[in-house]
Amino acid sequence: MPAPMTSTRQVALLRGINVGGRNRVEMARLRALMEDLGHRDVRTHLQSGNVVYTSDATPERAAAGLEVALAERLGVRVRVLVRTRDELAAAVAGNALIGEATDPARLIVLFLSAAPDPERLSGIDPDAYLPERFWVGEREIYMWCANGVRDAQLAEMLTERRLGVTVTARNWNTVTRLLDLAGA
């Protein structure tokens, strides 16, 4: 018999919620949906699909359940990536670009559904994008957009299509706030 899952603090990152008027989800409805799914101590951050909660489910099961519930109950079909509090803390600690980033709003973390295949990244010449920089973590890619996020050329290279995995991005302010909310 498998050992029971213990409750963990988790962070759900919904991809493409409330962006450009599409996939509208009110945060109160999202919190209620999470509670209906059996998650506890649910908190949302901003209007862009960031949920911190406590759950007995594995991150994979929580993500899959939330994707189904969003589609069935709210008519919104989006991918959901989930990290435990400890995984998010490791992602924060693993940011090799933190020392050169002078504006946390321009330091972006691309959360990936799986580790990136090095072959898919091999054709990107980092020097061609300076002063932009990127660093590959385990299931994250850190991207420093020195001249702003909107015009970042690296963002055009580090796409789902190129990486072959689901990607959702958050700026450093949001990432560290989510870790605080998760009880770092």
Query: What CATH number is associated with residue 58?
Result: 3.30.70.1280
The pLDDT assigned to 21 comes to 75
**Any idea how long the chain is?**
184
Same domain flag for 148 and 172: yes
Q: 177 and 151 share a domain?
A: yes
Q: Let me know whether 110 and 141 are in one domain.
A: yes
Q: Is the pLDDT of residue 4 over 60?
A: no
Per-residue pLDDT tens digits for 51-106: 999 999 999 999 999 999 999 999 999 999 999 999 999 999 999 999 999 999 99
pTM value > 0.85: yes
Structural domain ending residue among the three candidates 53, 87, 121: 87
Q: Quick check: is 3 in a domain?
A: no
Under 8 Å between Cβ of 82 and 116: no
CB atoms within 10 A of CB 104: 14
Same domain, 138 and 57: no
pLDDT at 16: 85
Q: Structural domain of residue 75, as residue ranges?
A: 8-87
Residue 2 belongs to some domain of the structure: no
Extended beta strands in 46-139, E state = 50-55, 80-84, 107-112, 133-136
Domain check: are 103 and 82 in the same one?
A: no
64 domain residue, yes or no = yes
Which CATH number goes with the domain that contains 124?
Answer: 3.30.70
Tokens of 56: 């007995």
- Write down the number of H helices and E strands in the chain: 7, 8
Among 30, 56, 87, identify where a domain stops: 87
What tens digit of pLDDT does each residue of 148-180 get?
A: 999 999 999 999 999 999 999 999 999 999 999
